Every structure is written in C-alpha cells, then in structure tokens.
Amino acid sequence: MSGHGDVDRELEALEPIFHRLPPRADRRAVEALIEPDFYEVGASGAVYTRSHVLDVVEQRYREGLDPDDAAWTVTDFHCHALTDRVYLVTYRLTLLERTSRRCTLWVRRGS
C-alpha cells in the first residue's frame, strides 16, 4: 500500500472503476472521475475511448444493470504513491472464470 491509509481505502473502494459506482450514478458523476484524455485497455487488449466507456456505463445504469459484486473479486490490491498526489493502483480482477491484471492512475485534485 502507499502508506497513506485514507487514500488506500478510498481508492480500493473505487476499484475496479466502473464496477463500484454509486447506485444510479449519472454520466456527470462518471465524467468527474476520469480525465478528458482517458482511455481503457480491456482484458482482451482492446482499447476503449473515454466516450465509449461513458456511453456503456451510462447505458448500464440507465437500464438498471448495476454490476453484481458477487460475480467478481479483486485480489493483490496495491496502491503505490508516485508523488504526493498521484497514485498507481494495481490488482487482479477475476470476473467469472477470467482473471486479468489491471492498473489505474489516480490523481488527487483539490483537498
């Protein structure tokens, strides 16, 4: 862990991102979490744009398809402080029978 207990807990609660958003989260809530130049590399290696990810998450929540926490597990969670405001989160995500390694860069804005 980063040695910043509050940050570690906060980021662990958010990961995997787009799986633990507040119920009925709207597009603006998701947009506030990700940078304008965001992109995602999926478990298959496919690259997804910010716009595509926002569209998918918005549709999922609009249709009431909240992710099923019981269907996936996070293991080997680590939060590395790269600076006093930038953190690299790494973990393994197992969804049904598929395990992938994930990473996310988080930047703390404001206080």
DSSP string, 39-67: EEE-TTS-EEEHHHHHHHHHHHHHTT---
Paired tokens of 87: 């953190």
For the chain, the average pLDDT equals 82
Per-residue pLDDT reduced to its tens digit, 87-111: 999 999 888 888 889 888 999 887 6
Per-residue pLDDT of 43-65, as tens digits, reads 788 999 999 988 887 787 777 66
Using one digit for the tens of pLDDT, what is the confidence trace for 2-14? Answer: 566 788 888 888 7
DSSP state of 31: H
